[in-house]
Amino acid sequence: MRLDYAFFADSAAIPQDGKVYVLGGGFSQLTLAQLPGRYAFAVVAGFRFDSSDVGHTHQVELRFVDADGKLVIPPSNLQFQAGGTPPVEDREWSVPTVTFISPMFGDAGNFAAEYWQGERMLARIGLRVEAQAPGAEGPRPN
């Protein structure tokens, strides 16, 4: 098993077709109207498996941390188990995941979503959080 991709999105879903449908994906900065403030969003990831993964259970932990590596919210646990008949030896398959989080940001700064398998970090996605400047207007209406 390996992590194939990971990113932040405003929202995401995985319907029966197994594809990831994303709204507002790929951001790396949030500007909140005020701090402290809460923002709800999704962490989207795709894990790739091959025939050597059949019959094994894989535990992955998603941690959302501040710049000091301290947990901002409790970690989310993901579990993958590939069962059944092993696929053709050179074939791989992907399993997408969407984890919704809603952290409270006390201060501006750098944060990150980290995927861990045991003691090994698989990926780290950085997120910069800032407060809107006093007197600054929001987005221009359409």
- What are the structural domain ranges in the chain? 2-131
Q: Is the Cα dihedral 37, 62, 24, 110 positive or negative?
A: positive
Q: Single out the residue of 49, 118, 58 nearest to residue 87, CA to CA.
A: 49
Is domain 2-131 in CATH 1.10.3720.10, yes or no? no
Average pLDDT, consecutive stretches of 10 residues, N- to C-terminus, the chain (142 residues): 94 94 97 96 93 82 97 94 62 88 97 96 97 70 42
Residues with Cβ < 8 Å from 14, sequence gap 6 or more? Answer: 20, 21, 96, 97, 98
Within 10 angstroms of residue 105's Cβ, the number of other Cβ atoms is 20
In the prediction, which pLDDT does 140 show?
A: 45
Cis before 74? omega within 30: no
Within 10 angstroms of residue 140's Cβ, the number of other Cβ atoms is 5
Long-range contacts of 12-16 (CB under 8 A, 24+ apart): 12/42, 12/44, 12/98, 13/98, 14/96, 14/97, 14/98
Whether the Cβ atoms of residue 6 and residue 44 lie closer than 8 Å to each other: yes
Q: Please give the Cα distance from 85 to 77 (Å, whole number).
A: 26
In the prediction, which pLDDT does 114 show?
A: 98
In the prediction, which pLDDT does 53 show?
A: 77
Whether the Cβ atoms of residue 45 and residue 123 lie closer than 8 Å to each other: yes
Q: What is the pTM of this model?
A: 0.86
